[in-house]
Structure 1
Amino acid sequence: MKTVPQSDEQLRQEVSARYARTALQVLGSPSEQDTSCCGPSCCGPAEVAESQPAPVSQASSCCASSCCSSDVSQGDPITSDLYTQMELGEIPVAAALASLGCGNPTALAELSPGEKVLDLGSGGGIDVLLSARRVGPTGFAYGLDMTDPMLELAERNRQEAGIENVQFLKGIIEAIPLPENSVDVVISNCVINLSANKGQVLREAYRVLTPGGRFAVSDIVVQGELPSVLRRDMESWAGCVAGALEEETYRSLLREAGFVDIEIEVTRRYSLDDIASSGANSSVATLSPQERASVDGRFISAFVRARKPEKQG
């Protein structure tokens, strides 16, 4: 268990390093911590092997090899089985291998031809590429990520897919490098909860949306308070657990940013065992019986919807 860094920048660096390792594995470049096929940075909790539905596990990668086959088949309870067979058939295998999300925001967003879409924390590009196909040649999809290996992987996936109406941007989700009123839909897949300043992320999403624009993200949400040991655990934070907002806090921050028509829909509910296997094993082991009971079933994947009003002010 590592303690969550105290500054926003330190936390950002830690999260970026974890996701860079995932991208490098998919790109075929060994990272400094890759010591063997079944080491902790390959086929470990919330890493590449467990982020893929069954058909993708047949792809050529470290985590698809026989020594990790049991891990692949089980799948991470948070990051697995999020996309349909048809959707996976539309994109390069590498985009799915690098997916560490907790939902399918492209299905949630109900995209229409001609719309402009922004994916916050776009990773290997799976949701950007799916969005680009849905909005068609008259629409456009942006992907924003802070991790260079992920941006490299996403661009490679874009080229392989032959999709032109896409641009991947480097930056942080707390300071989106787009002008105000520039996109119709903001999506995100289990990334906002990794930010140390979620209120700023939501204000930025509001800023870049056009009047009447839609906020449609998948995220991890907690119903109730978390034991402090989970909040302090870097491993569980980077695994999408410790950084989860409490449901009412999420609603409040959306309202403060200016959003209306706020909805939070539960899509999955996780047991304590699910949480432990998704990157919080060490901190879960320290919980008292009372704390374990308080956490069990309180973590959820959720569709979070909201809208920017048509008239401002």
Structure 2
Amino acid sequence: MPAPEMIAKAQAGAERGGYAQVEFRQGRLEALPVEDATIDAVTSNCVINLVPDKSAVFREVARVLKPGGRLVVSDILLDRPLPGAIAADVLAYVGCVAGAELRETYFGRLATAGLGEIEILRDEDYLDALLAAAPAEVEELSRRTGVPVEAVKGAVRSITYRAKRSQG
């Protein structure tokens, strides 16, 4: 749950950007403190993959969005399962990798919740980004888990997508 300081920082950013119709509230993704069908858009940046019950998150998003409302998310997804040692590694979880799930499963949850018209805006190999930003940490994870970096190449994706709540 965001601390009051995080909400204040977000509000200050919205004011600097001139966004007058933006509101920030403290709450849980699985139980948003918002009335049904009152929100035009929901955004999330690398958070949903850390929530154990992703289906509950998508149901809540569908509940609060107005018909035709938009969801825009940047998250980490998998194109194939991770080796067990990495999936179980706490630092991989903190690094947003171990909490990721298969693309088909993730997008299936969206559809089940009533969110469709999924459009992929960006799809990149997350390992490439990690190797560029933090090569020592990637090598340490490989050493600690015994899983070669090459075994994970292409499996972990950084994806930004847009979806809509159905009109009904």
Summarize the alignment of residues 153-172 of structure 1 with structure 2, pairs less than 5 Å apart.
153-158=9-14, 164-172=20-28
Alignment deviations for residues 216-256 of structure 1 (CA, whole Å, 9 cap, x no partner) = 21111111001222222232222222111211111111122
- If the length of structure 1 is used for normalisation, what is the TM-score? 0.47
Aligned to 2:70: 214
Aligned to 1:310: 167
Pick from 160, 164, 174: which aligns with 2:30? 174
The residue type equivalent to 1:296 in the other structure is: K
CA offset at residue 203 of structure 1? 0.7
- If the length of structure 2 is used for normalisation, what is the TM-score? 0.81
Aligned to 1:146: 2
Aligned to 1:271: 127
Summarize the alignment of residues 1-313 of structure 1 with structure 2, pairs less than 5 Å apart.
146-158=2-14, 164-271=20-127, 274=130, 277=134, 282-288=140-146, 292-311=149-168
The verdict on how the C-alpha distance between 1:273 and 1:262 changes in structure 2, with shifts beyond 3 A counting, is: closer
Contact 1:236 1:242 in 2 (8 A): yes
The verdict on how the C-alpha distance between 1:253 and 1:162 changes in structure 2, with shifts beyond 3 A counting, is: closer
Alignment deviations for residues 129-183 of structure 1 (CA, whole Å, 9 cap, x no partner) = xxxxxxxxxxxxxxxx523331233344455667543322111111111011011
Tell me the SS of whatever aligns to 2:24: strand
Contact 1:241 1:280 in 2 (8 A): no
CA offset at residue 281 of structure 1? 5.2
The residue type equivalent to 2:161 in the other structure is: V
Segments of 4+ in structure 1 off by > 6 A?
none
- Identify, as 1 or 2, the structure richer in strand: 2
Tell me the SS of whatever aligns to 1:217: strand
Unaligned runs of 5+ in 1: 1-144
Distance in 2 between residues matched to 1:220 and 1:166, nearest whole Å = 26
Distance in 2 between residues matched to 1:175 and 1:293, nearest whole Å = 39
The verdict on how the C-alpha distance between 1:292 and 1:170 changes in structure 2, with shifts beyond 3 A counting, is: same
Larger radius of gyration: 1
Residues matched between the structures, number:
166
Higher RCO, 1 vs 2 (CA within 8 Å, ≥6 residues apart): 2
Distance in 1 between residues matched to 2:111 and 2:81, nearest whole Å = 20
The verdict on how the C-alpha distance between 1:172 and 1:299 changes in structure 2, with shifts beyond 3 A counting, is: same
Distance in 1 between residues matched to 2:20 and 2:67, nearest whole Å = 26
Alignment deviations for residues 253-279 of structure 1 (CA, whole Å, 9 cap, x no partner) = 112212222344543213368269286
The verdict on how the C-alpha distance between 1:257 and 1:170 changes in structure 2, with shifts beyond 3 A counting, is: same
The alignment yields a C-alpha RMSD, in angstroms, of 2.7
